[in-house]
Structure 1
């Protein structure tokens, strides 16, 4: 079995002490796992997303797909629903329902796309913008906390490495059976 590149035997004493706070299965999934990258990405994403989305649902009554859509439009006003689908990884029907709810709650508005009069784009309403602006500091703080164990140079390096993975992602298979990887 191929282990993660940072095998436990090479961890410094400070990190070894921190491992005492993790359960044995998490340790195995992080360091004794041939799919170490996938697990680590999911583990970190969950540790960010779970508290953030729980807080947003409690405070604003928005479930995850609804906030994903609102956040996307907050980042790029005038975006089409198909772009939110392709950037989020959520199913089209899930995001379609979420967008409909946001339109009903008047957090989003739909307008004809000026560049393609047959298409529509989404924009935040003032109420939607208020939610976006209120959630951003909490999300930034969560990210800052998570990155707190890295130096500024390490944070830049992590960002650059993640950029490379994202840029390469269109070349990855979408269907393992079609790519001849099936068992």
Structure 2
């Protein structure tokens, strides 16, 4: 069920948007997916373009670097699981980061057949330099919401993320394909 556009204050803002964008985000039975993707794109596109221009890192490379920056000692399989990137794309990205000496790989002490990743000093510097810009972008996006609304949005997003393992991952197998 798409949300109704009855709020008169929104009407002018909607008129300023591209007509197809309005259709996809409001006149669409799958509004949630399109709105989440639209908002994510508005965050990701300027951030990743800046990172690629400044550091020469394409999106999958920075996704891997950022993940290790958030949690040193993580395995590539965990980055795949948390990012949605294909395993082969992530593997190539990690190899490039290792080659550029932005990451280092060590044997996992808990599983000697596996490797875990750590940021090097230059990798940590990139992570630390990009964080304020990303926080600034997020702050700008959230500025239209009150603190209460921001907390509520966070709680609602938490519910969706926590429920996500119960969602179908293969629509063909779920019997929804025609």
TM-score interval (norm. to shorter): over 0.9
Cα distance between partner residues in 2 of 1:20 and 1:137: 33
Which residue is 1:103 aligned to?
98
Matches within 5 A, 1:22-61: 22-61=17-56
Cα distance between partner residues in 2 of 1:69 and 1:48: 17
Cα distance between partner residues in 1 of 2:19 and 2:65: 38
Match of 1:18 among 7, 13, 20: 13
Query: Are 1:69 and 2:57 counterparts?
Result: no
Cα distance between partner residues in 2 of 1:65 and 1:144: 24
Cα distance between partner residues in 1 of 2:16 and 2:143: 17
Following TM superposition, the consecutive aligned residue runs of length 4 or more in structure 1 with deviations greater than 6 angstroms are none
Match of 1:176 among 162, 171, 174: 171
Which runs of 5 or more structure 1 residues have no equivalent in the other structure? none
**1:21 Cα deviation from its structure 2 partner:** 2.1
Cα distance between partner residues in 1 of 2:70 and 2:170: 30
Cα distance between partner residues in 2 of 1:99 and 1:54: 19
Which residue is 1:93 aligned to?
88
Which residue is 1:144 aligned to?
139
Cα distance between partner residues in 2 of 1:47 and 1:62: 19
**1:17 Cα deviation from its structure 2 partner:** 2.1
Matches within 5 A, 1:112-131: 112-131=107-126
Aligned length: 178
Secondary structure in 2 matching 1:121: strand
What TM-score, normalized to structure 2? 0.98
**1:119 Cα deviation from its structure 2 partner:** 1.0
Secondary structure in 1 matching 2:57: coil
Which runs of 5 or more structure 2 residues have no equivalent in the other structure? none
**1:117 Cα deviation from its structure 2 partner:** 1.5
Cα distance between partner residues in 2 of 1:181 and 1:76: 38
